A and B are shown apart, each in its own frame.
Chain A
Amino acid sequence: METNRKKKLISQVNIFRSVIILLAISIVASILSPSFLSANNFFNVIRQITVAGIIGCGMTFVILTGGIDLSVGSILGLASVLSAGTLAATGNTLLAILVAIGVGLLCGMVNGVLVARYEIPPFIATLGMMTLLRGCVLVYTKGSPISIKEDSYKIIGKGSIIGIPIPIIILVVVYVIGHYILTQTTFGRSVYAIGGNREAARLSGISTKTSEWAVYAINGLLCGVAAVILTARLGSAQSTSGQGIEMDAIAAVILGGTSLSGGTGFVLPTVIGAMIMGIIDNILTLMNVNPHATNIVKGIVILIAVLVDKKVKDLSAKAEE
Chain B
Amino acid sequence: MGQDLVLQLESIVKVFPGVRALDGVRLDVIPGEIHALCGENGAGKSTLMKIISGAQSYTSGKMLVEGEEVVFHSTKDAEQKGIAMIYQEFNLVSDLTVAENIYLGRWPKSNFGKVDWDKMYKDAQEDLEKLGLKFSSRTKVKNLSVAECQMVEIAKCLTIGAKVIIMDEPTAALTDEEIRVLFEIIEDLKEQGIAILYISHRMDEIFEISDRLTVFRDGKYIATKNIEDTNYDDVVSMMVGQSITDLYPEREYKQKDIALQVKNLTSRTVNNLSFDLHQGEILGIAGLLGSGNIELAKVLSGALPMKEGEVYINGNLTDCSTPIKASRGGIGFVTDDRKQEGLVLVRDVKENVSLSSLRSLSKGIRLDKKLEMERVNKQVDQLNIKISNVQQEVKNLSGGNQQKVVFAKVLETNPDILILAEPTRGVDVGAKAEIYSIMNELTNEGKSIIIITSDLPELIGMSDRIITMKDGEIVMTAMKVDTDEEEILAYASGGVE
Contacts and interface: CB of A to CB of B under 8 A. Distances in A.
B365 A205 contact: no
A184 B367 contact: yes
A189 B59 CA distance: 36
Nearest to A187: B365
B484 interface: no
A185 B362 contact: yes
B400 interface: no
Interface in A279-298: none
Contact of B343 (A186, A189, A197): A197
A192 B335 contact: no
A196 interface: yes
Interface in A164-215: 184-190, 192-193, 196-197, 199-207
Contacts of A320: 17, 396
Given A192-B351, A204-B355, A320-B17, A186 B362 contact: yes
Contact of B367 (A189, A200, A204, A207): A189
A189 B372 CA distance: 12
A107 B197 CA distance: 58
A184 B369 contact: yes
A203 B341 contact: yes
Nearest to A185: B365
Interface in B302-349: 303, 323-324, 327, 333, 335, 340-347
A203 B335 contact: yes
Contacts of A26: none
Interface band, chain A: 20 to 34
B359 interface: yes
B15 interface: yes
A264 interface: yes
Nearest to A207: B324
Given A185-B362, A186-B362, A201-B355, 4 more contacts: A189-B354, A203-B342, A205-B356, A263-B346
Contacts of A2: none
A202 B59 CA distance: 37
Contact of A200 (B340, B354, B396): B340
B366 interface: yes
A202 to B, nearest CB: 6
Contacts of B324: 205, 207
Contacts of B17: 320-321
A185 B355 contact: no
Contact of B344 (A185, A187, A196, A259): A196
Contacts of B345: 196-197
Contact of B413 (A196, A202, A205): A205
Q: Which of B301, B346, B361, B366: most chain A Cβ within 10 A?
A: B346
Interface residues of B, number: 34
Main secondary structure of the interface of A (DSSP, over half): helix
Interface in B354-402: 354-356, 358-359, 361-362, 365-367, 369, 396
A197 B402 CA distance: 15
B156 interface: no
A199 B355 contact: no
A202 B323 contact: yes
B35 interface: no
B163 interface: no
Given A186-B361, A186-B367, A205-B327, A193 B351 contact: yes
Nearest to A262: B346
B65 to A, nearest CB: 25
B436 to A, nearest CB: 24
30 contacts: A184-B367, A185-B366, A186-B358, A189-B354, A189-B358, A190-B358, A192-B347, A192-B351, A193-B347, A196-B344, A196-B346, A196-B347, A197-B341, A197-B345, A197-B346, A200-B340, A202-B303, A203-B301, A203-B303, A203-B333, A204-B323, A204-B355, A205-B323, A205-B324, A205-B413, A206-B355, A206-B358, A207-B324, A320-B396, A321-B16
Contacts of B366: 184-185
B365 A186 contact: yes
Contacts of A185: 362, 365-367
A185 B369 CA distance: 9
B355 A189 contact: yes
Contacts of A189: 351, 354-355, 358, 367
Which are the 7 A-B pairs with shortest beta-carbon distances? Answer: A196-B344, A186-B358, A204-B356, A263-B346, A204-B355, A205-B324, A197-B344
B409 interface: yes
A185 B362 CA distance: 8
A41 B324 CA distance: 53
A281 B429 CA distance: 60
A190 B358 CA distance: 9
A187 B369 CA distance: 14
Contacts of A264: 346-347
Contacts of A321: 15-17, 59
Interface in A233-264: 259, 263-264
Q: Which of B16, B323, B340, B396: most chain A Cβ within 10 A?
A: B323
B125 to A, nearest CB: 39
Contacts of A184: 366-367, 369
A118 B183 CA distance: 47
A192 B303 CA distance: 20
A201 B303 CA distance: 11
B404 to A, nearest CB: 16
B336 to A, nearest CB: 12
Contacts of B354: 189
B299 to A, nearest CB: 13
Nearest to A263: B346
Contacts of A197: 340-341, 343-346
Interface in A13-64: none
Contacts of B358: 186, 189-190, 206
A196 B351 CA distance: 11
A87 B15 CA distance: 67
Interface in B259-274: none
A192 to B, nearest CB: 6
Interface string B169-206: 00000000000000000000000000000000000000
A35 to B, nearest CB: 43
Given A186-B362, A186-B365, A203 B346 contact: no
B347 A263 contact: yes
A196 B346 CA distance: 6
